[in-house]
Amino acid sequence: MCIFCKIVKGEIPNRTILESEEFLCFEDINPACKIHVLIIPKEHYDSFDVIPPKIMANMTEFIHKVASKLGVRQSGYRLITNIGNHGGQEVSHLHFHLLAGEKVGRLVGKES
């Protein structure tokens, strides 16, 4: 069982920001920004590539609620998901990083 499934089951504690029947948002334990939360579906999906579009539509609405609750919809935020090894995905459970609360720096990557 992956770490995020253990968090959903309550086996690993977290600092919950918002929760619904389908989704969970909690603080990242290693924040990269003033506000850094993770948003996950409670049901296990390996990545964005396999989540059914109807569930992703519900997740979009949940993410909007998270951004509103955090008070960052006006000032802006960065939303990131990594897919697969080359995309930098470290946990095989779909999750979005929401970064906000300060100006977010440029994305890490190769210069063109």
**Active-site residue, 95 included:** yes
Which tokens belong to 105? 């720096």
- How far is Cα 99 from Cα 3, in angstroms, rounded to an integer? 21
Active-site residue (options: 36, 44, 93, 95): 95
Which tokens belong to 7? 């968090």
- How far is Cα 111 from Cα 92, in angstroms, rounded to an integer? 28
Instruction: Identify the CA nearest to 42 among candidates 58, 31, 28.
Output: 58
- How far is Cα 105 from Cα 103, in angstroms, rounded to an integer? 6
- How far is Cα 74 from Cα 8, in angstroms, rounded to an integer? 30
Active-site positions read 95
